[in-house]
Amino acid sequence: MMIIRAERESDLPLIRQILESAFEGQGEADLVDLLRQNDALVCSLVAEVDGNLVGHILFSPVSLVPEHSRVRIAGLAPLAVLPEYQNRGIGSQLILAGLEFCRKSAYQAVIVLGHPGYYPRFGFRPASEFNLGNDYGVDQAFMALELTPGGLNGVQGIARYRPEFGQVDV
């Protein structure tokens, strides 16, 4: 049985282990720790299977340049599932729960820099279709999802993840 829930303080060491295992390094774990220390979390969820933590997802606030005061955008990153639990739908359940949390928290959209063959199943489309660019020089892998219909109408600019993303090696 799987449960998706908000992270707890007691989960933090296990979340770090999940991130290090899934990404085979410390970069993403350091990023999550830094975002948490700077109170820059929109949503941080864990997946629990039979009482064991096996997955984690984090959403953080995104800014736009030029600034658009009427739109709130969250960035999905990172998403991690222990290698031995991958390909079981755990990542999908984390994404769906996180998107619902963002929707209920009055975010109009979510962006992700991820695999273009994976995220469209959740409704993500190339962010360029919404007139959103990025600082990473990528097109198809940079995607956006409107959480409210027309949430990105009239918006254009560069979507920027939090500065912490540039402070660690991911």
Tally of CB atoms within 10 A around 167:
13
Quick one: pLDDT at residue 118?
96
- Interval 103-127: pLDDT, tens: 999 999 999 999 999 999 999 999 9
- Interval 120-168: pLDDT, tens: 999 999 999 999 999 888 889 999 999 999 999 999 999 999 999 999 8
- Interval 67-87: pLDDT, tens: 877 899 999 999 999 999 999
Tell me the whole-structure pTM to 2 decimals: 0.95
State how far the Cα of 146 lies from the Cα of 149, in Å rounded to an integer.
6
Peptide linkage before 78 cis (omega within 30 of 0) = yes
Query: Domains in the chain, please, with CATH?
Result: 2-163 (3.40.630.30)
Q: Which of 20-29, 88-97, 131-140 has the lowest mean pLDDT?
A: 131-140
Residues in Cβ contact with 165 at an 8 Å cutoff, skipping those fewer than 6 apart: 31, 77
Q: Which helix (H) or strand (E) holds 72?
A: none
∠ Cα 161 121 90 (to 5°): 80
- Count of alpha carbons within 13 angstroms of residue 161, beta-carbon side: 24
Which structure tokens are listed for 34?
């830094």
